[in-house]
Structure 1
Amino acid sequence: MARRIVHQLVDDIDGTLLEVGEGETVHFSLNGAAYEIDLTNSHAEELKAALAPFIEAGRRASAGNVRAAAPRRRAARNSEVGEIREWAKAQGLKVSERGRISAEVMDAYRAAH
């Protein structure tokens, strides 16, 4: 049995079916949230015209200007892992023989050393 999958774009404003070569997907962002919208050519032009004064007055931001998440802690070196496990066991802390060491155990170890 054959299967045919048809991908159709529809204008997100008025529901107009966009034929091949018609319309476009417009990408934009506002307050840190990225959006995309499928529009007929005329709706795309309306959106661009409405945003034009703000784009002209604004400045371009690169991806580097996006606020990064909190810095991640450096993973313990393999030589430290054994020491940390032994120390945690001696302190009566629950620690597995293999795998990741919990953040609580790592914090306690660093505080003690």
Structure 2
Amino acid sequence: MRKVQVILIDDIDGSDADRTVQFGLDGTTYEIDLNKDNAAKLEKALAPFVEKATKVSSARAAGGRAKRTASGRSKAAEVRAWAKEQGIAVPDRGRVPNEILEQYEAAH
């Protein structure tokens, strides 16, 4: 029989930690093991910012996919039409290759 025991150590002062705290900033999620006192200090320090912040869904916080705009689709159609006029092979669907976009930008 085997027994695995996980002991949390406070990342700030090396004492026994009570929990792992997760927080995020600028699109990055962090975890830190803290005792009750240090967790309270972190919560107190962040409280004024959390109070004024807008909570976002986990998909958006994790870098959820941005929706394509109508202007993005119309530009792709414009680039495809230009490429075909220039005799450049371009796919009818999907992403326009970067080299074709660069040629289009250079010509305009």
Q: Tell me the TM-score normalized by structure 1.
A: 0.52
The aligned residue for residue 15 of structure 1 is 14
Q: Secondary structure at the match of 1:47?
A: helix
Q: Secondary structure at the match of 1:8?
A: coil
Matches within 5 A, 1:4-83: 4-18=3-17, 23-66=18-61, 67-69=63-65
Identity of aligned residues (%): 40
Q: CA deviation at 1:4?
A: 4.1
Give unmatched runs, 5+ long, in structure 1. Answer: 72-107
* Runs of 4+ residues deviating >4 angstroms: none
Q: Secondary structure at the match of 1:9?
A: coil
Q: Tell me the TM-score normalized by structure 2.
A: 0.54
Alignment length (residue pairs): 70
Q: CA deviation at 1:3?
A: 4.4
Q: CA deviation at 1:24?
A: 1.4
Q: CA deviation at 1:64?
A: 3.7
The structure number with the bigger radius of gyration is 1
Compute the RMSD of aligned alpha carbons. 2.4
Deviation sequence 1:40-94 (CA, Å, 0-9, x none):
00000000000000001111111243443579xxxxxxxxxxxxxxxxxxxxxxx
Q: Which amino acid aligns with 1:32?
A: G
Distance 1:45-1:63 versus aligned 2 partners, 3 A rule: same
